[in-house]
Amino acid sequence: MTPDLQVMLERLEKLERQNRRLKYGGLAILIAFGALAIIGQMAYTRRVIRAKEFQLVDSHGKVMGRMRVDGNDPQLELFNQHGVSAVALYAYDKGNTGQLLLSSVDSGETSKTSADSIVMTRPDGKVLWRAPLTSASYFSK
C-alpha cells in the first residue's frame, strides 16, 4: 500500500467513526426531547385550574354560559341568544339540596325543580310529566 492510500484510508475510517458518533448523538437527543415532551404532556393533564368564575363565550365574545360559586353555593347557568338565563343549575348547602331552573324562550317565565321532584309543562302551563309520578300526573292533555 502506498503512503497516500494509507493516509486516505485512515481519514476515511476517522470520518466513519465521527459519522457514527453524530448519528448516535442525534438519536440520543431525539429520544431525550421525546421523553421530555411525553413527561410534559403527562404533567399538563394532571394540572388543576382554579377560578372564581368560568365563562362560555361565543365567537363575538358574548357570554353564553357561566360557572361560578356564589358564596358557598356552586352555580351553572346557560343564556339564550338574547342574554337571558335559559337554564340554571344551583346546589345549595342549606338542607343539602339542589335546584334546576328552566326558562321559557318565548315568555321568559321560569320554572323551578328541586331534588325531590321534576315537572315538565306545555307552553300553556298544563303538566306533561312529573317525577315522582302521582296518579293524576300521567300525560295530561
Dig out the grid coordinates for 17 from the structure: 467513526
The CATH code of domain 53-131 reads 3.90.930.1
For position 126, what pLDDT does the model report? Answer: 75
For position 82, what pLDDT does the model report? Answer: 83
Residue 43, classed as helix, strand or coil, is helix
76 closest CA partner among 40, 58, 102, 95: 102
pLDDT along the chain (141 residues), means of 10: 87 93 93 85 68 91 91 84 79 64 60 64 70 51 41
For position 26, what pLDDT does the model report? Answer: 93
75 closest CA partner among 101, 103, 113, 112: 101
For position 131, what pLDDT does the model report? Answer: 74
Terminal Cα distance for the chain, rounded:
109
For position 63, what pLDDT does the model report? Answer: 92
44 closest CA partner among 36, 53, 56, 52: 36
